[in-house]
Amino acid sequence: MILARFKMAIGLEGGYARHVKGDGGNPKMAYYGDAVLQMAAQAAELAATTRL
């Protein structure tokens, strides 16, 4: 679950970064900035609280 959230954050960040630079073709990417931060924060929280 931790890895999945980090990977999702990375994928969304790439699309969001392209959108911010004006290179993205999908206007929905404008809304992904907060989702990227949330996914990364959730992954970090899970990683910090796991016993593994």
User: What is the pLDDT tens value at each position of the chain, 52 positions in all?
Assistant: 999 999 999 999 999 999 999 987 788 888 999 999 999 999 999 999 988 7
pTM, to two decimals: 0.78
- Residue 10 is encoded by which pair of tokens? 């990375």
Rounded to the nearest 5°, which phi and psi values hold at 42?
-65, -40
pLDDT at 26: 85
- Token look-up 């790439």 returns 14
pLDDT at 24: 75
pLDDT at 23: 87
